[in-house]
């Protein structure tokens, strides 16, 4: 396609760059006089005119594309006009940084980022890392990767209108639509309203019940209970609480976690754990897969989520929901567990679903000291996953399999599920 130039830029900050690679974080890599430049709104293989936006780092600079001089054959019209290079960089909506790339090629770029991270930080052989395929969620190809978000968080500008931030900024951009949002959220017409007095607006479209707009201010914590359905099972949670954003994500990840678990290593009576357990999604999956008497403890730092997990897991006689930070829970367990409990922990299956920053060294070290038989790691950041796989490898855990899922089309994010075996 022919790309049209954006608004004129300061000539002193404007450069031409040959883009050679993709980097973690939704940007691509170029070099300028030997210096690495991370460039937004482009992709490998392009020659672009870009505006330097950050020179503060000795090791790299940042730049925004303002024109694709030699576009890649994988460049397409951006799915969201508010985020396209036809807009000045300071007016581009954030949240769809891959929207100018053909959907199948987005997945290839995500695969490259994951494979590179697994080799560099996880120590996996190149052939193993390169064989991973980033799988599409049901319905996404048919929809062009649009309409998948059942949760959208917007920020309120000085004029009372809600919109996204510009990428890597705290500046609100007024928009007229959000093509990644579900049809039910679009029907709320949030961009035609004013939210004076609110700091942000959450748009939520649960699988049961109607979509809703939730204006929020600092310190405001009021929440209502909603229901999400995964297969035939229902989960109750706060409308302001965490749930997977993609309409199919909970079902896709439940299936992936269940398939990742090695049944030969499962002991229903072991001290099985669901860490960062939320409202009990994966603990319930373990109970469904291995019987209602399966012993599993869900550990979550949010008291409200733990309350809901207790309710959602009530039918499993061996299920328990505990409110605690995961690191504090593991420290206590390591300090107080007797011989019998350590034996049950050594036979355990652990599902580990940390936040984007990953589990980190302390949690990995504590968990490895308890020596569970297998760990199913659910990750939403490839570098954090790779780093933690490398840490587990130091304790003798081998990576037996990894699957990756494109649950965030038109963004750089992906989910991955890995099985680690002692």
Cα–Cα dist 375/25, whole Å: 26
Q: Is the dihedral of CA 257, 258, 264, 266 positive or negative?
A: positive
As a whole number of angstroms, the distance between CA 317 and CA 326 comes to 23
Sorted by where each starts, the structural domains of the chain and their CATH numbers stand as 11-75 (2.40.50.140), 151-227 (no CATH), 245-421 (3.40.50.150)
What SS3 state is found at 44?
A: coil
Dihedral of CA 138/139/144/148: which sign? negative
Would you state the pLDDT for residue 2? 39
| Residue 166, phi then psi, degrees to nearest 5 | -65, 145
pLDDT number for residue 137: 98
Other C-beta atoms closer than 10 Å to the C-beta of 194 total 11
Q: What tens-digit pLDDT sequence spans the chain (422 residues)?
A: 334 444 444 555 899 999 999 999 999 999 999 899 999 999 999 999 999 998 877 789 999 999 999 999 999 999 999 999 999 999 999 999 999 999 999 999 999 999 999 999 999 998 888 899 999 999 999 999 999 999 999 999 999 999 999 988 899 999 999 999 999 999 999 999 999 999 999 999 999 999 999 999 877 768 999 999 999 999 999 999 999 999 999 999 999 999 999 999 999 999 999 999 999 999 999 999 999 889 999 999 999 999 999 999 999 999 999 999 999 999 999 999 999 999 999 999 999 999 999 999 999 999 999 999 999 999 999 999 999 999 999 999 999 999 999 999 999 999 999 999 99
Q: Which of 380, 386, 389, 407 is catalytic?
A: 380
Helix, coil or strand: residue 19:
strand
14-22 and 47-54 beta bridge pairing: antiparallel
Q: Is 119 a catalytic residue?
A: no
Report pLDDT for 12.
Answer: 58
Can you give the pLDDT at residue 222?
81
Q: Which among 156, 266, 264 has a CA at the least distance from the CA of 214?
A: 156
What pLDDT sits at residue 11?
54
Report the distance separating Cα 146 and Cα 152, nearest Å.
Answer: 13
Report the candidate in 55, 97, 400, 107 with the shortest Cα–Cα distance to residue 259: 400
pTM of the model: 0.94
What stretches of 313-359 show up as alpha helix (H) in DSSP? 326-336, 339-346
pLDDT, position 128: 85
Which residues are within 8 A (CB) of 82 and not within 5 positions of it... i.e. 6 or more apart?
Answer: 92, 93, 173, 175, 176, 177
**pLDDT attached to residue 9:** 44
């Amino acid at each position: 396609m022919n790309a049209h130039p954006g608004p004129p830029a300061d000539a002193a900050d404007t450069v031409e760059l040959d883009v050679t690679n993709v980097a973690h974080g939704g940007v691509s890599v170029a070099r300028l006089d030997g210096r690495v430049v991370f460039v937004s709104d482009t992709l490998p293989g392009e020659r672009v005119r870009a505006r330097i936006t950050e020179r503060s780092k000795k090791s790299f600079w940042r730049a925004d594309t303002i024109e694709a001089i030699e576009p890649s054959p994988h460049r397409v019209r951006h799915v969201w006009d508010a985020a396209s290079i036809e807009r000045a960089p300071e007016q581009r909506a954030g949240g769809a940084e891959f929207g100018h790339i053909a959907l199948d090629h987005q997945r290839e770029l995500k695969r490259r980022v994951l494979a590179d991270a697994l080799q560099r930080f996880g120590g996996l052989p190149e052939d193993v890392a390169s064989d991973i395929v980033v799988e599409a969620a049901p319905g996404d190809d048919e929809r062009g990767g649009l309409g998948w978000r059942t949760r959208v968080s917007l920020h309120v500008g000085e004029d009372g209108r809600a919109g996204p931030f510009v990428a890597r900024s705290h500046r609100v951009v007024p928009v007229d639509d959000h093509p990644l949002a579900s049809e039910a959220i679009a029907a709320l017409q949030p961009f035609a309203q004013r939210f004076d007095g609110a700091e942000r607006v959450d748009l939520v479209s649960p699988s049961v019940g109607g979509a809703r707009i939730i204006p929020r201010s600092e310190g405001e914590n009021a929440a209502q209970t909603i229901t999400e359905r995964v297969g035939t099972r229902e989960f109750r949670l706060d409308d302001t609480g965490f749930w997977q954003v993609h309409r199919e994500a909970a079902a896709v990840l439940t299936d992936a976690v269940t398939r990742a678990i090695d049944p030969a290593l499962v002991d229903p009576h072991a001290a099985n754990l669901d860490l960062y357990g939320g409202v009990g999604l994966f603990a319930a999956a373990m109970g469904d897969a291995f019987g209602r008497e399966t012993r599993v403890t869900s550990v979550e730092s949010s008291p409200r989520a733990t309350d809901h997990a207790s309710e959602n897991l009530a039918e499993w006689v061996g299920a328990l929901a505990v409110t605690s930070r995961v690191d504090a829970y593991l420290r206590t367990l390591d300090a107080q567990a007797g011989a019998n409990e350590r034996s049950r922990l050594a036979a355990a299956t652990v599902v580990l679903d940390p936040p984007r920053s990953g589990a980190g060294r302390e949690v990995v070290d504590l968990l490895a000291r308890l020596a569970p038989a297998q760990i199913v790691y659910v990750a939403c950041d490839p570098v954090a996953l790779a780093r933690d796989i490398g840490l587990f490898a130091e304790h003798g855990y081998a990576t037996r399999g990894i699957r990756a899922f494109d649950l965030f089309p038109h963004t750089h994010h992906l989910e991955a599920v890995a099985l680690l075996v002692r």
